[in-house]
Structure 1
Amino acid sequence: MAAMSKRWGLWVLAVLVVLTGCEDRDRPVIADGRLTATPGGVDLQRVAMFDGREVEVVLRNVGRARLNVDEAWVEGAAGAWQVAFTHEGPHALVPGSECVLRVRFNPQQEGALPATLVVRSDTLKDPVVRVPLQGVGVDAWARVSPRKLDFGRIELESTKRLALTVSNPTDLPVEVTPKLLGAQKDEFVAEPLVLGPNEERELPITFAPTKAGLKQVALAVSPCKGCADVAVQVSAEGLDRAVVAEPAELDFGSIPVDQERVRPLRLHNLSTEPMTVTSLTLTSTEASFTHGPPPLPLVLGPGEVRTWDFRYSPGHMGPAENLASFRVESRRNPTTDVPLRGFGGAAELCVSPLSHDFGRQPLGAKVARIINVKNCGAANGGPLTIHGLELQPTDGSTGADNGLHLVPATLPYRLRPGEEVNLKVFFEPVREGTATSRLVMRTDVYSGDTTTLNFRGVAEQHGPCRVDYTPVAVDFGTVQPGRGAVLGVKVDNPGGDLCAVKNIRMRDTGGGVFSLPGGELDGVVVYPGDSFSFMVAFAAPLTGGETGGDFLGSVQIEQWDPANPLVTIPLKGHTQNTCLVVSPRYVDYGVSRPDCSPAPREVNYINGCQAPLTVSDVRIGAGTSDGEFVLRASPPTPFTLAPGDAFTVSVDYLAQVFGLNLSPLFVASSDLPAPMLVPLVGESSRRLDKTDQFIQQDGAKVDVLFVVDNTASMVEEQPRLEASMPAFVEAALAKGVDLNIAVTTTGIDPGGTGTCPGGVQGAEAGRFFPVVGGGPRILNRQTPDLAAVLRNNVNVGQCAAVEQGFEAVRRALSPPLVTSADDVRTPEPNDGNRGFLRDEAALVVVFVGDEDDHSPDSVDTYVRFLQARKGENQPQRMTLYAIAPTAEGCPTSGGGGTRYAEAAARTGGEVLSICSADYSPLMRSVANKAFSPQDRFPLSEQPDPGSIAVSVNGTRVTEGWSYDGATNSVVFTAAPAAGAKVEIYYRRACE
């Protein structure tokens, strides 16, 4: 039993020995383990640098006792070889068991890299086993280019693919691995790839933006396993919209109706990819917006901008909207829409001129330029305000020595539609050389709040000079109270160099009775041997008519003469009621030529007093050019003129001195301390040929002003005038004319006898009737019961003393009266004439009176003024008619209306007899003529009839017209069409 137990123990022990393997055990003394390695040598051949290759080495105990493998290492190139057990130790091998080592070759450099695997065990014999290792490092990694990828700017929901080029120049395969880094890396896609030996391929990188903005992303490319990353710079941006409109909204602002404003609209391709625009449509039916024909379809290149001109021409008042829609080939934004907005009705700024060159001027000169600023918008456009005016030197000088100056204006200045203001810029050099400045005007006009005007002048040095003045004193003699007279001063340069004079203005107005009818003269350059004349007026006041009054004044003239820089011309005048009644009160010879002086003119004098008087002298006084006016016939003096008796003086005008000539005709009588004055006026011109130009009106808009005589003699005529107003209104309305109608009187100053309605006792002085109370003063087609209101307004009464119809019209249509709702010079409220005179309308003035006009200035002066209200080149847009005395006369009229007849003839109008029992046919005739295209075109000078040539719209017309010598007019058989340009050429003839 004991023996059996012993055998069992030995068997268990044997089994345990077999099962133990590499487990630790005691080694028998009589046996030893033996370690072998398989394979006995390792050659991993060619391996890419930084890549690796592995092989397993099996360690086996081929001895008869167990052994322990203590450690294993590699001797050779550092870092190129690594060895490790495949499982955790301890590594105890029983006979016949084995362990595995993993040997890895990871070359860090090129070339052969031999090494030795060393394994040490606890065997007594050969405790160290050596296994030779062989391997070659090969420089095998991919080359990456380019090192920068720019995806540009692309629209969201689109994609763009770029590629890196990777190449493998070796005979070993290489794995290329791209890695994306950054917050927006998810918007990019890149996949790794393996390059075969000597292969080159593209590594695609895809950009698919999902959010707008610049992308913060980096790309690292590993060119081989274990290689250091190659950095590739990446630029990319996502756009919410690739094609945008600039501006995003096209707002034309406020624009006058029927005007036009063009604004550019740009399509800008913000992306770096081409974008196709296929069409453009306006989605609304609003017809105020239009655009030029778009060249579509088109391709917008990267960053390209294309421009379209859009127009807004409001056809109605108020807001207007539309939508311009561009069709774009885009998944995200298939259209680019641009709202269009505008507003019909606005102020409009018209400035003329925008620049001016004063040229070369001598030191001491003063040359002015008027700058006209006008609100030329439609009546519904609202006001325009000038907020700032600043003249800024642009030549580096200061304002003091620049020489260019602006006459100050009160700001802010508000202009209602149609109103205008004149600014004055003058060049008054004080130093030699060039002067430049710019006038910066700030307004609230729709077209831009700043307007810049440029000015330039050059100053030259000239020596001191002296000019002669004739007469050296101006004597107006006696002028009846309430009357006016005009004489002149001539400035002559007898020297050999040019001479500058300036600041010709009133120095002393004598209490307001003396004035310069042509306004102050800023400056004139008088060349050697040349001269010029200017007029001086004396307006005799009504006060002191019986006892008379004496007035003194003076005119100043500055000249470029340091020894005598300021010259004054004394003025004197006397006013008193006279026994002599003179007709005409002044003589205007018009424009003449030296080779054919005008016919002599006569002046008639009547003793209107009940006692005889003595005429002691008849003479031509000192004037601008002595000898130009010559007494042709007059009775020898002295002589006695009985009550009611008359005499005539005949005066020739020689017209030998070019320019304006003025002289006084004096008649001395026993009732006057100073001789009675009749001004003589004439102008001599070198011009022989002339062309008058006209633009035919259409009669669609007419402003009609009735000027009614309100003197006591109109007691028979005024009821006839009132009764004729319905006929005038009926004819006007039948023509469909857009009318403005107003009434004023021939009265200027209060006086006379009788009573007048209207609130100012007949002294309307151009203000529309009635000045105070009584209903509307400016009538139109919409005025309720128009005929009745007009009948009431022409009932002006009979209380004035002097008929001054022309003067009344000049005042009525002159600023500030015509541009103001209230004339601040008078106490009556809201007595201005603003709103009557329209730029786009023709002007018709109808004078009604039983006596001729007695205004102080010449007919030519008033006609020229009225024609200028409609434009110098459109005189036919102003026509004068008169119901006045004609040559035949009648018991209730006072002589012939020669001044009215002259004015009517010069403007293509007509004079109808005041003696008619019924004015209704006359008023119908006036309406039919005034509200129709014009067939009569008055000439500005007397022509040689055989020289007249007529053109219509540039085409010579040889028939269908005739010359009417009685009215000095060209009369068409059929009136030219509205808007036609009529040119009439002729050679001026001797009268």
Structure 2
Amino acid sequence: MTGRWGLLALAVVGLLAGCADRDRSSLADGRLTATPGGVDFQKVAIFDAREAEISLRNVGRARINVNEVWVEGPEGSYLAEFTHEGPHSLQPGSACSLKVRFAPPKPGALPAMLVVRSDTRIEPLLKIPLSGLGVAAWAEVSPRRLDFGRIEADSTKTLMLKLDNATEMPVEVTPRLVGADRDEFTLEPVTLAAGESREVPVTFSPVRVGKKQVALAVSPCRGCADVAVQVAAEALERAVVAEPEVVDFGAVPVDRESYRESRIHNISTEPVTVTQLTLEGKDASFSHANTGFPLVLQPGEVRGFQLRYSPDHQGPAQDNALYHVESRRHPTLPVELRGYGGAAELCVSPLSYDFGRQPLGSKTRVIVNVKNCGSSNAGGLTLNTLAWQPAAGGDLQFNNTPLAMPHTLKPGEEVNIAVFYEPTRTGDAMGSLVMTTNAFSAATVQMDFRGTAEQHAPCQLTVTPLALDFGTVPPQQGAVLGVKLENRGTDLCPVKNIQLRDDGGGVFGMPGGALYGGIMYPGDWFSFMVSFTSPPQGGSFTGTLQIEQMDPVNPVLLVPLRAHSQMACLVASRRYLDWGVARRDCPPEPLEVNFLNACTAPVSVDDVFIGPGTTDSEFALQKVPDPLPFTLMPNQGFTVGVDYLAQVYGLNVSPLFVASSDLPEPLLVPLIGESSKRVEKTDLFVQQDVSKVDVLFVVDNTDSMAVEQPRLVNAVPAFVNTALDKKVNLHVAVTTTGIQTQPQPNPADNCPGGALGGEAGRFFPVDNSFNRILNSGMPDLAAQLQRNVQVGRCGEVEEGFEAMRRALSRPLVDSADDARTPPPRDGNLGFLREEAALVVLFVSDEDDHSPDAVDTYVQWAQQLKGVNQPQRATFYAIAPPKNGCDTAGGAGTRYAEATARTGGEVMSVCAPDYAPLLRAVADKAFSAQKRFPLSEVPEPGTVTVTVDGAPVTTGWTYDGATNSVEFANVPAPGARIAISYRRSCAAL
């Protein structure tokens, strides 16, 4: 068979270039020989090739023309061609060369014959044997798919392509990348020796984000068909992303804290190292306490971290959390943090209450105070629902006054909810009142109540009068009458639900409100008022008052009410006669009322009398026209005088009636008086020591005090220096507004002192790491006090008044150690001196949230040092002003009220410098008291004075203008002063 390369040689035979001149002798023939006489190419890899050169020589005596050459053998295996262009004409002795190429297309022996055709007569076809062995030699390529996964742009990843030459021949492997993104991959050609295996690196170095369009074509040997290797790869903008990208804490009350989770997600297919988590520090309200860095985030892994927001100011707050990532493209991953200082905050007191042992059939009450104690910018607090949970026994014995829902409270607003225990069976009872709100951290609040009922004898209750008759009241005027209840039995009598069953269309009322209930012991009695307000159109009206008692036979007593209203000719000069508070031993003077005939016609006055009242003997007619009846001409009048005897203690109300011809019912003028038992009175005082003052600092230790605490520290020297200049003997201590220990306090540097923010009145520091009770004898008093007022910021609720009371009450005030708590020597013994004045300075950027009313704390403090001596127990405050400010939570209304009641002062916590206030505290607190005001007006000549138990008859005077005793000889510091007197019969 003629090879294709042989055919080509035949086709171009006319183009062969000669090896010598063209002349040819005809005298003798030429003779052509070949060197070598045969070629063995031996082993050659298929698709590879090997060449050999054959020389053709004219050994004859005549010129030879070599016309063509070809190979007879396996198709496509051999190729023969002259090395020089033709024609090829050989002179005797000259030569030319051929090049034969062996490229086996298949494995196995491939013999062939090289044929050279010339114009010799002797041997026109010269045949030269050719042989060669085709060997199947190429590389095995694996794997057939390279998956680089998802990696961040500007990073690199290398995978290995395995090439395996299992043959005995060397192999040249040529890779070729194709596709739009081939420039982001690198791979070099390689030649494998016989039997060699090699892993060749394929590197992915993306610069563009997105999925890659690329493939790898590998030629496993020279001339071999390409082997396709699939390539999958994607470049990411970020390997690690934040979920969510923004952490929004929403609205949070100042000083409270909220936690949110920030998650990071490795969306790549490679591990990523996160070295740390930091905050930019734009706002100190944000913090975190996450540990465990550096860490490796595995492919696809999501990990969460807690971030904390505790606003130290009102209004919006913003910061960035930064995750530090080992990445060339994005070394940090920012997460935006947002929050708002100020949220509706719920304060409820009490959360639980035990009514104790109560009579069956009684109704006892506790007031639950619900307040929006959020800051002034916090928005409304909405109470959504209020409902009782079913009792375990199914017979709920508790109830509450209705409150329309939903009910919204503005910041600082509050509502009182009366909760009643109304037992219907003996034994223990429990109930829970559940409230749902929109408050921060208080979506559901449960208030628990309990009580125990016991059996008593049926009531023997007397009602006086049996009916209330208001007679005639002119239109658009009002009047009151009284009802008296008296327990005439030998056992206690519970009464309840004293209220109007029928208010006559709204004309009858109870000025003091409905009486929910009470317990009357044998012989007890009390009175209350019922009102009538006549409408403009007048008319006749009836109603009913109900009284429930513990008497199964007669559980409800009904008191009929009746009234009439019309214009009357008689006009009373006084709509009622009120004697106020009187004494049994000195009844008040009589009161008079004048009646005028305002009509144009005569009126017959038929009678003047006192009708049934709470106690019929208490009022008496002292001056009455005589005789009765009589005619009162137009524009004429008369006067009626009434005595109030004040012999029955308590409230007494009776009707004064005047019957006339123009009225179907007599005209009413109510008679009102109250008799008191109090006669003698003693006011007690302890003279303050002008050189001795006990000063207690109560410092807010919530998280929002980051700005205010340093201001206080800076102002302390001004206070100390002023006191020392006045040579005042000081005792100084510090406590915090924190009562409850925080279960998850801030880091230790924000929660010093050993009490975890819950000093509860114990002096700071509770762990005695510093001196807790300081005095003016210490040479570095200012420095020590500056250190002690740095109380940290890990408290949650500001309870300044409660902290003060606990600090100066038993057991802390008189014990070296508080036995109720683990820390040793944490009592406050040695601070409070009876002869020294007391100054309490509150420092807070939010109002007080103590459980009791301001009055309770003020009265307690004044009794501690002596009532009516404001300089002996004085409150000062650095607190939020009335209109608030950006760094304060709402207005300090409770602090303002307390300081005003004790004669102290308030300075705005927003002020940049606290030194002026502390100077004012020192200046005002250290002065002697020589004027002692009395609590009531004394009878002349009844005032007596003792100092330290000894009567003092000279050196003092009573000043009626100021109702005080003023000493010319000021009592010595620490002196005990008692001023006694008999209360005057005059109106106080």
Measured against the shorter chain, the TM-score band is 0.3 to 0.5
Q: Scaled by the length of structure 1, what TM-score is found? A: 0.44
Q: Scaled by the length of structure 2, what TM-score is found? A: 0.44
